[in-house]
Amino acid sequence: MALNNYFRPTGARNEQDLAQSLVDEHIKMHGIEFVYMPRRFVNTKTIMREVSSSKFDRSFPIEGYIENYEGYGDQYNLLTKFGVRSTAEMQITISQARFGELITPVLKDEGGVGLSAVPSRPLEGDLIYFPLGDILFEVKNVKYTAPTFYALGKNYCYVLECEMFELGDEKIETGIGAIDDDFATLGYNVTMTLSGIGVTARAMTSLVNGGIHKVKIFNEGTGFTSDPTVLFSKPNGTGRRATAVAITTTNSQGSRSLQEFRITDPGFGYTTAPSISLTPVDGQGGGVSLGVGIATTGAVGIITMTQQGSEYVVPPTITFSAAPSGGVTAIGTAILTDGQVTQIVTTNAGFGYTLAPTITVGAAGTVGVGTFKYGMVITGKATSTTAYATSWDATNGTLLAKDLTGKFAVGELIVGTASTTGESIAYRLNSINYNDDETNLDSYGDNVTIQSESDGILDFTEKNPFGEA
């Protein structure tokens, strides 16, 4: 053996562990906390393994030491033919042991990221977030042997040579607001205006003469176990028998009694107040005393739903236009079934109307359900088009999205599901602007301004193809 057997210049394992601990402690004391983001390749081709799309959806806090001491490097901002380009550079030293303890096991459990089956080290193309400057850097090169070159026979650090990250088609969805919000509006986005998912119901009615005006309860009765059936006597001569529904409720004594009458059809042709019979379904309950009023002219008749609406949570308010002087304005109640107004009944049919009153139904929800988050996949229910949510303004109902698989249809529901909580999000699409790349120019792009100024200096028309002044 060439080396002396009694001396080990490469160091023993415990000496290497001590050196690693000292390096780790030094970085923890004099470094700052970065966020490391491994690149995940979503789709790669099989021939040359070229990448067609990638995303950053994992983040790991890790301490690092900044090697820079004179700023971000020379020629920080460069003027190119494509505009101003930032070339900020940074060298960051991180511990090999800390990377292996914090990041490698997680990535291995997830089956690896990027093109490496065993992500045991930082990879070129990964990102690292610098919180003090609120800047994302891309790892361009990884040095294994700096700043120590096999001290005691081992290397202890990775030196990451980084440049400021320039967003392409990558998706940034780390879940860290300070990072994600920097990229929410960058790149090509479509603007969608959304509103509440509910559709307001509509109804109409006609007038009847000699119909039931209202049923007054003088004695609520007691002992009911369910709502009794209601039967009005027939009107004298020609006319139509009125119909109604009796509603019971549990009173303060714990007994069920009559609460109200809902007139479903006031009938017509009554000249005197009809009699009412209440029949308990199971024979239980009684003691009710009632009074019936009729409207000789201008009572609200049967109410017809012209649009049942959708997505109602509670029964909406029903408002009738006011009756003329000397009359009584009708009062109505909405009946909901599966979020739709299936029927409007009256507790007071009013009287004295000369024209059929206008019926106003309270609006369905004006606010949709849930909150869109950055990186959420949204879907159009009618078109099955999907997109990637980047920014959501709940106050104005404005959603920015990118990476559309087709075109959304105005009026369809836009839905999404929160990956962490399982919350369902749903709004209705009012409008969409597909030309935001033309109308909302990148704030860093001055091409239009540059071209306008140059046209005033040089002649680039066909008459002067060489551009002479």
22-66, pLDDT tens digit by residue? Answer: 999 999 999 999 999 988 876 655 565 555 667 787 889 999 999
User: Domain boundary at 118, 145, 180, which?
Assistant: 180
Q: Which two tokens stand for residue 438?
A: 């033309």
Please give the pLDDT value at position 185.
60
Asked whether residue 176 is domain-assigned, the answer is yes
pLDDT band at 466, cuts 50/70/90? low
Q: Which residue's structure tokens are 């709940």? A: 394
Tell the burial category of 94 from Cβ atoms under 10 Å away from its Cβ (0-12, 13-18, 19+): buried
d(CA 294, CA 291): 10
For residue 367, pLDDT over 60 is answered with no
401 and 425 inside one domain: yes
Q: Which two tokens stand for residue 469?
A: 């002044």
What is the rounded end-to-end Cα distance, in angstroms, of the chain?
80
Asked whether residue 134 is domain-assigned, the answer is yes
165 and 73 inside one domain: yes
235 and 312 inside one domain: yes
Print the domain residue range for 163. 13-180
Q: Which two tokens stand for residue 355?
A: 């024209």
User: Domain boundary at 361, 388, 412, which?
Assistant: 361
CA angle 167, 68, 152 (to 5 degrees): 110
Asked whether residue 65 is domain-assigned, the answer is yes
211 and 352 inside one domain: yes
Q: Which residue's structure tokens are 């007691």? A: 222
Q: 425 - beta bridge partners?
A: 416
Asked whether residue 4 is domain-assigned, the answer is no
Least confident span in 27-31, 252-256, 367-371, 388-392 = 367-371
55 and 102 inside one domain: yes
pLDDT tens for 389-420 read 888 888 888 898 888 888 999 888 888 877 65
When comparing pLDDT for 422 and 141, which is higher?
Answer: 141
If one counts the domains in the chain, the total is 3
Instruction: Provide mean pLDDT across the span 261-290.
Output: 89
Asked whether residue 6 is domain-assigned, the answer is no
Asked whether residue 459 is domain-assigned, the answer is yes
324 and 376 inside one domain: no
Asked whether residue 2 is domain-assigned, the answer is no
d(CA 302, CA 207): 8
For residue 445, pLDDT over 70 is answered with no
Please give the pLDDT value at position 447.
56
DSSP string, 5-24: TT--TT--HHHHHHHHHHHH
Strand duo 157-164 + 51-56: pairing: unpaired
User: Domain boundary at 180, 212, 238, which?
Assistant: 180
For residue 458, pLDDT over 80 is answered with no
CB 347 within 8 A of CB 264: no
Asked whether residue 7 is domain-assigned, the answer is no
103 and 240 inside one domain: no
103 and 140 inside one domain: yes
When comparing pLDDT for 310 and 268, which is higher?
Answer: 268
DSSP string, 247-263: EEEE-TTS-EEEEEEEE
Mean pLDDT of the chain: 82
Q: Which of 134, 126, 136, 135 is nearest to 99 (CA)?
A: 126
370 and 264 inside one domain: no
Please give the pLDDT value at position 76.
60
